[in-house]
Amino acid sequence: MGDRTDLPQATGMVAERGKTIDPPLLPTRPFLILASASPRRLALLEQIGIEPDSIDPADIDEAAKAQERPRDLALRLAKEKAEAVAARHENTFLLSADTVVAVGRRALGKAETEDAARAYLTLLSGRRHQVHTGVNLITPTGKQITRVVSTAVIFKALDKFEINAYIASGEWHGKAGGYAIQGRAAALIRQIQGSYSNVVGLPLFEVSNMLQGNGFPIWADRD
């Protein structure tokens, strides 16, 4: 392709009568806050070229309400996280998310002990379960957009050796449902139906569409 000789150079150039033409100003990207402390969500955003300007996690009660469906729980928590953090920021994009692992109407929390992780893995063994991620985006104008993305995950039938070996890895700690699909648990999962990144913690296709559709640039401007 030929050079763009019709534009000023990156540095000031001399024009007629000795005047200097300043370089054109480049458009600035809007400010983005990630309302999550999850290193997995940050890594997923960086995977598609999005680097939040600030990370400001919300501190809310994440307990499910009586008779609350797992899908509804994921959406409510994502919304509450965003609203809690939005009070501290103005004129920015703010993104929050919450992921819930569920067997039927039962939501599985984050495994904090070996006993909890073993119970979860025993329950998930040889069966299908759902991973729901609620995503909430607040734009600089205060517009709020929400989505829930669900992925079906099918574990192989696990024997005691496999469960004990995975427990010994320590990878389960702090993970919803007691496993990490992006780690060694991948060897235990027979099939998924839907978004892989959703199981990790953030559905990238839906998030990128939410951002781009509301004025946050995902790709560099085309000529």
Instruction: Name residues whose C-beta falls within 8 Å of residue 59's C-beta, 6 or more positions apart in sequence.
Output: 84
Catalytic sites, residue numbers: 98
**DSSP state letter for 6:** T
Give the gyration radius of the chain's Cα atoms. Answer: 22
Structure tokens at 46: 């960086």
Cβ(174)–Cβ(213) under 8 Å? no
Nearest residue to 56 via CA among 166, 138, 174, 149: 138
Using a 10 angstrom Cβ sphere, with 0-12 exposed, 13-18 middle and 19 or more buried, the burial of residue 147 is middle
Question: What is the C-alpha separation between 124 and 120, in angstroms, rounded?
Answer: 6
Which parts of 31-158 fold into alpha helices (H)?
39-47, 70-86, 114-124
